[in-house]
Amino acid sequence: MTGASGGIGRRLCLAFARDGFWVGVHYFSHREAAEDTLAELTAAGGQGDLFQADIRCRDDVQAMVDDLQRRRGRLDVLLCNAGIAASHLVVRFPEADWQRIIETNLSGTYRSMTAAAAVMTTGGGSILVIGSYAGLHGTFGQGAYAASKAGLLGLVQTAAREWGPYNIRVNLACPGWQPTGLAGESYPSVEHLQDHVLGRVSNLNDVSMTICRLAQLPDVSGQVWNLDSRIV
């Protein structure tokens, strides 16, 4: 799983480990946090190992997938979770920040998906991309993040059409607001949840378990799931 050192990534790793998966814990620069993720899933009875790569670099991604193949000989599920954000108005968005976010969230996911698909063409597999409600409706001050997540919709649904004949399922899930470092100061207060018809955010444990099950559905591909109470 890419982006396994953060809050959502760690919880997803635990969910997959508890469901019997051997989990590849990817990180870019936060090795200690990734080690904590691996320690938690091991303590929960799971198995896995660390993989370092800059998903903005195709050679890094390919080396990571090749390393996984050497160690495990298979790749059943790819979970694309790595993502970054920055807060700027669209007209003031620094070019460097824009490029960094698009390269990580959109192009990095593309590189991870295509490297994994090359392995999965012989026996099938599942690719599940972590998207965002921002990609469906936009978010004030998050132009690059919203654009990158919107791009994932087209990427996922196109890949699902192209890779379906190889029994590769490609889907996208939006986990909703979660109290993680990525959300930062943008995390909404109770007074700002009017767009959630239940008046609350989704529970990360429930979201993680749901994503784990969605990744295993054998006959579903090209779908987008929003996992909170905002109406799409």
| Neighbour tally for 180: CB within 10 Å | 16
Would you give the DSSP letter of residue 202?
Answer: P
**Whether the predicted pLDDT of 183 surpasses 60:** no
* pTM score, whole prediction: 0.92
- Reported CATH class of domain 7-226: alpha beta
**Whether the predicted pLDDT of 180 surpasses 90:** no
Catalytic residue among 27, 133, 145, 187: 145
Q: What does the pLDDT look like over 39-70, one tens digit per residue? A: 999 999 999 999 999 999 999 999 999 999 99
Would you give the DSSP letter of residue 142?
Answer: B
Q: For this structure, is 27 an active site residue?
A: no
Q: Name which of 53-62, 164-173, 192-201, 210-219 the model is least confident about.
A: 192-201
Domain spans in the chain, listed from the N-terminal domain onward? 7-226
Task: Give residue 186's pLDDT.
Answer: 63
* Residue 156: its H or E element: helix 143-163
